[in-house]
């Protein structure tokens, strides 16, 4: 079972199939407001926050998908990726827009770990 489902329930809907995006590493934690995943583009780490589809279930007035710059406080072999205070790199409400951002970074960064 995926970590985000353990932390936020079997029925949490990401709006996409996580299996189609193996570069998204689940780092969800039940003390957070919503599931989160990290990815690395070149040398930069990012955290993707995926909030509830239903706006009424969100704790804050933010878009459903938010990507923030993050830091790896661990090693390359055992990353510990944190987004505390990171600059927002991208945000949107629809997965189609998020998917375009991910594709853009894949094509514009030849050394992408996506």
Q: How confident is the model over 73-106, as pLDDT tens digits?
A: 999 899 999 987 889 999 999 999 999 998 887 6
User: Taking the chain, what is the end-to-end CA distance rounded to the nearest angstrom?
Assistant: 22
Q: Report yes or no on whether pTM surpasses 0.85.
A: yes
Q: How confident is the model over 35-69, as pLDDT tens digits?
A: 999 999 888 999 999 999 999 999 999 999 999 99
Cα(52)–Cα(13) distance, integer angstroms: 7
**Structural domain boundaries in the chain:** 3-108
């Amino acid at each position: 079972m995926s970590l985000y489902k353990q932390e936020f329930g079997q029925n949490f809907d990401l709006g996409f199939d996580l299996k189609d995006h193996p570069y998204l590493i689940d780092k969800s934690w039940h003390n957070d407001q919503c599931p989160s995943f990290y990815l690395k583009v070149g040398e930069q780490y990012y955290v993707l926050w995926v909030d509830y589809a239903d706006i009424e279930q969100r704790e804050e007035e933010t878009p459903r998908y938010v990507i923030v710059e993050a830091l790896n406080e661990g090693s390359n072999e055992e990353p510990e990726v944190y987004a505390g205070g990171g600059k927002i790199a991208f945000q949107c409400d629809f997965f189609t827009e998020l998917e375009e951002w991910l594709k853009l970074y894949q094509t514009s960064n030849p050394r992408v770990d996506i």
